[in-house]
Amino acid sequence: MTDADCSQTVPPSRLRHDESYGFATEQIHAGDTPDLSKGSRITPVYMSAGFEFDDFDQASERFLDTASVYSYTRVGNPTNAAVERKITQLDHGVGTILLASGQAATAVVALSVLQTGDRVLCSSSAYEGTKGLFSANLARLGIGADFVEDPSDLAEWESRITPQTRLLFGESIPNPKNDVLDVPGLAEVAHRHGLPLAIDNTVATPYLFRPLDFGADIVTYSTSKLLTGHGASLGGAVVLGDGFDWWSDAEKFPQYATPAHGTQGPSWVEAHGSGAVTAFTRDTVAMRFGPTQSPWHAFLLNQGLETLSLRLARHSETSVAVARWLEQRPEVVSVDYAGLESSPYNELATRLLPRGTGSVFAFTLRGGIEDAKRFYNSVELFSRMTHIGDVRSLILHPATTIYVQQTPEQRAAAGISDGLLRLSIGLEDADDLIRDLERGFEAIASVD
């Protein structure tokens, strides 16, 4: 079921099609599906595995996909569809697919675009789960992965494109090093080679950055993080744009030119136009592999989206305050935050991220692992957790957690030193967070 199919059953949202609205208005009203029969103002949780057919003929119509209604939640669900429409609008896309987690979103993109013999070219500063999926899981399917060592070097990206490369994958704001990606520059490289660019935009969110506006073709999210925002649920999303010509070279992406239903009839592109890649990805990848987003978690995501701009503005503002304070401390060697003038990525961030630079960054203690341990164990307000984008502030020691399986050489290559701590700044008062971090420095001083 495509977004277009679903939309026919949806009551009109309050947003007029002939007017443009600001982000804050759209994050509340876009895609909205009030339950008109009961007067429920907010989009209800349609917590139902399936949807009843009126009669014999309608059952068949729904399976032929000519009707605009729902049959089974793995194929489509009104709560999920409303949130998908909202994200499509916020991200300036043509279609969105909600999925069970961020990992599911990355996997679904890979399984839609790539097939045996193809290769993906990925930034080395991408999320560890992404790199593992690409290098280990896809390898078992005969799909290769190459990694760009210095993602800010566009020439390296270009030099690593092979005749088998079919997808470029990067992150707008990677963590923990905050090496902001030159998305418009990379999109140009990708398109010069007739390849699509996918961007994991989890840390930026569409409020800080819209990858599709800067040339990317696919956007992925772990909605478990800032989009839902309150640390309560898992989810993922894939957003498709319409700027990439998937059909100019029929050899490259043959799947989108095959018949959409069975062995005959119109191809995906003939049947769905600019929504063809969304339709293929939804109907044959997401629906068959089955990592369906629970409507309950889609509802929680929708609640989070309604305050996204307010949260991201505050997350970013507090992060700047905390990062500036950390930078002044003699115990700190460096702070990797693109919002600081001292960051080598500050200029790019100023250009691409004028609304803020997010809330996930790292700082490195002079005293190495011993100081990191004392610091980590003495904070009280920060939660010791491997998660990001919560309203609560979180702290993690990547070298002994996310990167614990790697060799010291691999960690060094990733810039993960023993004294590095990652912070995810929440929505508490900046002064209280700083006072809490002060406890960490006191713990270090007490043994010196």
Task: DSSP letter for 12, please.
Answer: P
Place of tokens 């969110």: 205
Helix (H) or strand (E) holding 270: helix 268-272
For the chain, the C-alpha Rg in angstroms (whole number) is: 23
Does the protein bind ligand PLP through residue 200 (CB under 6 A)? yes
Q: CB nearest ligand PLP: which residue?
A: 102
List binders of ligand PLP among 52-71 (CB under 6 A).
Answer: none
d(CA 424, CA 412): 22
Out of 6, 82, 87, 127, name the contact with ligand PLP by CB under 6 A. 127
Cβ at position 276, least distance to ligand PLP in Å: 26
Does the protein bind ligand PLP through residue 225 (CB under 6 A)? yes
List binders of ligand PLP among 296-355 (CB under 6 A).
Answer: none
d(CA 148, CA 169): 10
Does the protein bind ligand PLP through residue 26 (CB under 6 A)? no
Q: Give the range of 52-60, 86-94, 150-158, 218-226 binding ligand PLP by CB under 6 A.
A: 218-226
Task: DSSP letter for 50, please.
Answer: B
How many CB atoms sit inside 10 A of residue 90's CB? 23
The runs of H, that is alpha helices, within 33-153 are: 56-63, 78-90, 102-113, 128-132
Does the protein bind ligand PLP through residue 234 (CB under 6 A)? yes
Cβ at position 127, least distance to ligand PLP in Å: 4
The tokens describing 109, both together, are 């993109």
List binders of ligand PLP among 376-405 (CB under 6 A).
Answer: 388
Nearest to 392 by CA among 429, 362, 355, 421: 429
- Nearest 5°: the CA angle 423, 428, 431 is 85
- Count of residues engaged in binding ligand PLP, rule: CB under 6 A: 16
Nearest to 108 by CA among 235, 18, 206: 235
Cβ at position 442, least distance to ligand PLP in Å: 31
Does the protein bind ligand PLP through residue 77 (CB under 6 A)? no
Query: Which DSSP string corresponds to 313-365?
Result: HHHHHHHHHHHHHHHH-TTEEEEE-TTSTTSTTHHHHHHH-TT---SEEEEEE
Does the protein bind ligand PLP through residue 236 (CB under 6 A)? yes
Does the protein bind ligand PLP through residue 228 (CB under 6 A)? no
Nearest to 75 by CA among 64, 87, 90, 86: 64
Phi and psi (nearest 5°) for 363?
-140, 155
Does the protein bind ligand PLP through residue 101 (CB under 6 A)? yes
Pair 85, 15: CB distance under 8 Å: no
Q: Closer to ligand PLP by CB, 222 or 343: give it.
A: 222
Does the protein bind ligand PLP through residue 233 (CB under 6 A)? no
Q: Closer to ligand PLP by CB, 174 or 275: give it.
A: 174
Cβ at position 422, least distance to ligand PLP in Å: 11
Nearest to 419 by CA among 386, 444, 438: 444
Q: Give the range of 101-109, 143-151, 286-294, 325-333 binding ligand PLP by CB under 6 A.
A: 101-109
Q: Give the range of 196-204, 205-213, 336-344, 350-358 binding ligand PLP by CB under 6 A.
A: 196-204
Q: Is 14 exposed, middle or buried (0-12, 13-18, 19+ CB in 10 A)?
A: exposed
Q: Closer to ligand PLP by CB, 221 or 268: give it.
A: 221
Does the protein bind ligand PLP through residue 294 (CB under 6 A)? no
Does the protein bind ligand PLP through residue 129 (CB under 6 A)? yes
Out of 31, 93, 95, 102, name the contact with ligand PLP by CB under 6 A. 102
Q: Give the range of 30-38, 211-219, 221-229, 262-270 binding ligand PLP by CB under 6 A.
A: 221-229
Binding residues for ligand PLP, rule: CB under 6 A, are 101-103, 127, 129-130, 171, 200, 202-203, 222, 224-225, 234, 236, 388
